[in-house]
Amino acid sequence: MKRYLILEDGSVFEGNAFGSPSESTGEVIFTTGMTGYQEFISDPSNCAQILTLTYPLIGNYGINPEDFEAMEITLAGVVVREWSQQPSNFRSQRTFGELMEERNVPGIAGIDTRQLTKLLRTHGSLRGKLTAAGEQPNVERIVEELNAWSLPHDEVSRVSTLRPYPSPGRGSRVVLMDFGMKHGILRELNRRDCDVTVVPYNTPASEILAMQPDGVMLSNGPGDPTDIPEAIQTVKELIPHVPMFGVCLGHQLIALASGASSFKLKFGHRGANHPVKDLTTGRTELTSQNHGYAIDLASLEQTDLELTHIALNDQTVEGVRHKQYPVFCVQFHPEGSAGPEDSVHLFDQFITLMQTAGKAGKQHA
């Protein structure tokens, strides 16, 4: 059946419906990864967005139980050039389309995703609507609705865990604040035998400190960091007391809690091939990224943060560390999933930071 993608600027893309037959509205974005579609669609950072996958063939190796980054898929929709109905891979247990239908996510295939991506790069991310399967749309009315529609501001509360839960280990005790956590972050901590407790995004600093953690990890997540001022306040209260490592949204929260400011990128950084330079080593690493906001470089001058990583594509802030406390963060995803693992050593840096701070604390005591 036919389905249409209609954008707020009046652009109309006609394609074929797959997945859920229902309609949906969201911010239309794109990601450039050539593989890893299962990880991309299950990343909670894409909550309420219509994700365009720029690689032309999607679903060719199917869907498996191991590669989900979250069990709930919170996308508003998926846009592809072509989706494979007959995947070929020994790990595959179902098709991409079957997963979309099961999780009630509408998709559209058969459109020129290159043209759509060029449009988004020119005009920035746009609000869009995927029509119901088989529906003949009233384009003028839908464009009016899209221009009146406001982007949501509650994405983090939608995707964060509702209650704390443990992921036991025998090593460093870590509290992981879940703002829309990719499971890859938890996996990397588990590989280092961390004793992890995952807590909701709005857990107060007093409750976190009462757990006596060796360190606090701030996860990725969707949306604008200024939409969760309670989390910014929590991070501000935690910084003087405990080693901390932030990723993606967690990075932005550390920066905002330290007095920096954020802004919305024109079309975001999404994909598995973004070059980032580590200014402390001079090394360039390829990184996986998925975010629509960034930290204003000039705003760091009035803070106790120093720049550690910078994006080579557009010179935006990709990492900072605190000058006084054992706190650091990066805008990209060092765990990859999907994507390169050039920066996975940052988890080892976090472990070392916690161990060093622990030894210092014992000597001081």
Task: Name the residues annotated as catalytic.
Answer: 248, 333, 335
CB 274 within 8 A of CB 285: no
CB 88 within 8 A of CB 114: no
Contacts of 255 (CB under 8 A, 6+ apart): 262, 295, 299, 300, 303, 305, 317, 320, 329
- From residue 61, give the alpha-carbon distance in Å to each of 33, 58, 91, 337: 15, 8, 8, 16
Give the separation between CA 141 and CA 23, rounded to whole angstroms.
Answer: 15
Binding-site positions for L-glutamine read 45, 221, 223, 249, 252, 290, 292-293
Bridge partners (DSSP) of residue 311 are 276
Q: What is the rounded (10 degree) CA torsion for 239, 240, 243, 244?
A: 0
Give the separation between CA 289 and CA 219, rounded to whole angstroms.
Answer: 13
Give the separation between CA 347 and CA 333, rounded to whole angstroms.
Answer: 11
Half-sphere exposure of 41 (CA within 13 A, CB side): 27
Q: At 207, phi and psi to the nearest 5?
A: -70, -40
Give the separation between CA 222 and CA 10, rounded to whole angstroms.
Answer: 26
Binding-site positions read 45, 221, 223, 249, 252, 290, 292-293
Residue 111's SS3 state is coil
Give the separation between CA 329 and CA 305, rounded to whole angstroms.
Answer: 10
